[in-house]
Amino acid sequence: MAQGLDSPLLEFPHGPQAGATTRLLDIENLKVAAATGEIVRGVDLSIGRNQVVGLLGESGCGKTTLALAVVGLLRGGRRVIGGSVKLEGNVIVTRDVDRSPELRGRVLGFVPQDPFSALNPLRKIGPQVGRGLLVHRTVPKGQIPTRVKEMLDAMGIPDPNSIVHKYPHELSGGQRQRAAIAAALITHPKLVVADEPTSALDVIVQAQVLDKFVELANELETSVLLVSHDIGCIAERCGRVTAMYAGRVVEFGDTIDVLTNPRHPYVAGLLRSTPQLFGTIGPRLASIAGQPPAIPGELDSCPFAPRCERSEPICVQIEPEYSWPAPAGFACHRPLPVAAGADDEVAESPMTESALRKQVAGMPPRVVAVPDVKPSRPTAQRRTRLRGTLTLGLSIYGAILFVSLAAPLLPLRNPDAQLPQGLASSGAPLNPNLTFLLGTDGMGRDELSRLLYGGRVTFLAATLSVLLAAIVGLTIGLAAAVLPRWFGNALMRATDIGLAVPGLLLAATLGVILGPGVTSLTVALAAVFWAPLARVTYGQALVIVEKPFIESARVAGARTLRIMFREALPHVLPVTAAYAALAVGWAALFESTLGFIGVGVQEPTPSIGTMLGSGLAYYQTNPGLIAFPTLYLGLLVTATTLIGEGLRHRYVSDASLAPTGRAATVLDLRGAA
């Protein structure tokens, strides 16, 4: 939308000039509060069909909170406490009602600030852009890839056939933002809320992306609420504008009228502080004195009064109001005059229509200082050591797995057979010899056969029990983080109860109740380890569910199960797997302890625990009966520890994602128990 100086100042395909007289969205006296007070304080705003409305204000004025309230994405304890949001005359958001989840992705779209964090880094671009079509089933599944490519092409992304197969980190910033906008528009929603969608882009790419956005929204007859603090962006693309300050609307109306002849001193101050490309160059850029009031906070006067040059006693006594509904208005006791007075320096219009035309023709690039912070990465030597640790652990574990699975196929003696030649003439077990490579036990049974079969039982019981515990723990941890807070708190209180019981005592008790056998032992061990794994998952999931790409999934209309298992699970799984690998070693130790004391697997079925128990009486004359099972157990624990530590250092290197506090030490607590 490049504009020449002689062309019309603004071309608003979505504005009043397009004949949009029917209102699509009505926000009436909307109030949003956090724990410390109100953030949005009685805002009124309307958007017509096929119209672009700008929401203007400095950082911290509440415009983003208002935008999130419209689409029902308030987080961090923020909630609607008054007023309403209506779509086509139907109430969708009030203090007690929130119908936005059933409308998001189908009727309501949302474009976040940061496209990189709004796109799931573990999923390709194509499925993320087409997610809304898949969730709402608006087109046959087989047509979704074609629709995705068409939308990416409409947003000006070159070669959409290859882009759909790329991950977000493989795209440029402009391409990521175009993809995020395409995801918001692909279902042809009636309204898209764009929260500073190009703030992270340079001014050239910003203009290109916004032009494509508005052009495509116009073709789809989609209204847009464009949130920005960029006056040039608002001036060039919005038919109407609403300015906010300290959680309140201070002025609204047609963009040309508001920006060429503002009535509120705050809006006039914003325009005066905007860098000018043309006209007289002053000694320094104008600024608004003072600081905005802290919000949330209680205000019973004009919030701008302490900074206003036109302030009078009434301004600090009574908060000004504006008439609503109305085509234009302002909240000020001493507004600027409609026509600039030559003798009133303060009332002088800060920007004429001619100056505004020149201003929006080419805003100066904004220089953003990026601190030279090098990310903390492990050194090459440390990375090599970590890879070696993980490789060694996987090698040992793989060898144990192979032997355990191959044991029935090997030419071994029956591990339960009591062989007459397996005992000495005195009735004592035999030490290792050519016939019995590892000797025999006190009943004349081949120790090698029993070790391989017994190791198989211990290995499978420990692995399967932790696998079962991980499935339960992952489900509970994810559910507690994603589902409503009260339900999540209830799940975590139940998890805390499970953690409070000493692990070995719980396993022994369940082993007695369930009776002997490998299945009973597996269930008993799973009951010990699901709680710590649920805590680890919950700690990780709490971080993940606050990521913008989860909000993007919610905006697309994704349901809870999809968010849990398609969006959050891939990010949580590596960390939980690392701690689950550590848990396998503890489970093997628990099994050995239970077998040693006669709970769980019992004679004649071999296991590491039962072998240690039966060999205790002969450890002085035949130390191999204790040494060989202990060596097998040590190798298994060492392998799982190396795997767990390798995975933990690989995937939990970011302190912001690492489980902290109790969640990080529950497995150690289980072991100590």
Q: Is a pLDDT exceeding 50 seen at residue 73?
A: yes
C-beta of residue 225 within 8 angstroms of C-beta of residue 70: yes
DSSP string, 357-407: HHHHH-PPPPP------------HHHHHHHHHHHHHHHHHHHHHHHHHHHG
Mean pLDDT is lowest, of 7-16, 193-202, 350-359, for 7-16
Contacts of 35 (CB under 8 A, 6+ apart): 77
Query: What pLDDT does residue 191 have?
Result: 95
CA distance 520 to 116: 48
C-beta of residue 24 within 8 angstroms of C-beta of residue 48: yes
Tell me the pLDDT tens digit for each residue of 394-448. 999 999 999 888 888 888 888 888 888 888 888 889 889 988 999 898 888 999 9
CATH number given to 16-107+189-277+297-361: 3.40.50.300
C-beta of residue 51 within 8 angstroms of C-beta of residue 2: no
Residue 662: φ, ψ to 5°: -65, -35
CATH number given to 380-672: 1.10.3720.10
Q: Is a pLDDT exceeding 80 seen at residue 110?
A: yes
Mean pLDDT is lowest, of 227-241, 435-449, 652-666, for 652-666
Q: How confident is the model at residue 278 (pLDDT cuts 50, 70, 90)?
A: low
Q: Is a pLDDT exceeding 70 seen at residue 12?
A: no
Q: Strands 90-93 and 79-87, how do they pair?
A: antiparallel
Query: What pLDDT does residue 645 have?
Result: 87
CA distance 605 to 601: 7
Highest mean pLDDT among 323-332, 377-386, 437-446, 531-540: 531-540
Average pLDDT of the chain, as a whole number: 83
Q: Strand, coil or helix: what is 248?
A: strand
- Mean pLDDT within 26-48: 91
- The angle subtended at Cα 72 by Cα 71 and Cα 74, nearest 5°, is 120
Q: Is a pLDDT exceeding 60 seen at residue 669?
A: no
Q: How confident is the model at residue 531 (pLDDT cuts 50, 70, 90)?
A: very high
Query: What pLDDT does residue 290 have?
Result: 78
Query: What pLDDT does residue 383 have?
Result: 64
Entry pTM: 0.74
Residues pairing with 227 in the sheet: 55, 195
Query: What pLDDT does residue 282 have?
Result: 59
Q: Is a pLDDT exceeding 80 seen at residue 264?
A: yes
DSSP string, 106-128: TTEEEE-S-HHHHS-TTS-HHHH
Q: Is a pLDDT exceeding 90 seen at residue 494?
A: yes
For residues 436 and 604, the model is more confident at: 436
Q: Alpha carbon of 266 to those of 144, 224, 242, 254, 495: distances in Å?
A: 47, 25, 12, 17, 53
CA distance 671 to 673: 5
Q: Is a pLDDT exceeding 80 seen at residue 459?
A: yes
Q: How confident is the model at residue 484 (pLDDT cuts 50, 70, 90)?
A: confident
Q: How confident is the model at residue 526 (pLDDT cuts 50, 70, 90)?
A: very high
Query: What pLDDT does residue 5 have?
Result: 27
Query: What pLDDT does residue 663 have?
Result: 38
CA distance 519 to 461: 8
Query: What pLDDT does residue 201 have?
Result: 77
Query: What pLDDT does residue 479 have?
Result: 94
Q: What CA dihedral angle connects 257, 258, 264 and 266, to 10 degrees?
A: -150
Q: Where are the domains of the chain?
A: 16-107+189-277+297-361, 380-672
Burial class (CB in 10 A: 0-12, 13-18, 19+), 37: middle
Tell me the pLDDT tens digit for each residue of 286-327. 778 878 877 655 667 898 988 898 888 888 888 898 888 888
The sheet with strand 37-48 has its strands ordered as 37-48, 23-34, 79-87, 90-93
Q: Quick one: DSSP state of residue 566?
A: I
Q: Is a pLDDT exceeding 70 seen at residue 167?
A: yes
Query: What pLDDT does residue 84 have?
Result: 94
Tell me the pLDDT tens digit for each residue of 615-659. 888 888 889 899 999 999 999 999 999 999 888 887 765 433 344
For residues 8 and 408, the model is more confident at: 408
- Mean pLDDT within 452-459: 92
C-beta of residue 333 within 8 angstroms of C-beta of residue 315: yes
The residue type found at 5 is L
Query: What pLDDT does residue 493 have?
Result: 94
Query: What pLDDT does residue 551 have?
Result: 83
Q: Alpha carbon of 258 to those of 157, 241, 253, 304, 328: distances in Å?
A: 35, 8, 6, 18, 9
Q: Is a pLDDT exceeding 50 seen at residue 349?
A: no
Query: What pLDDT does residue 659 have?
Result: 41
User: What is the percentage of the chain residues whose pLDDT exceeds 90?
Assistant: 45
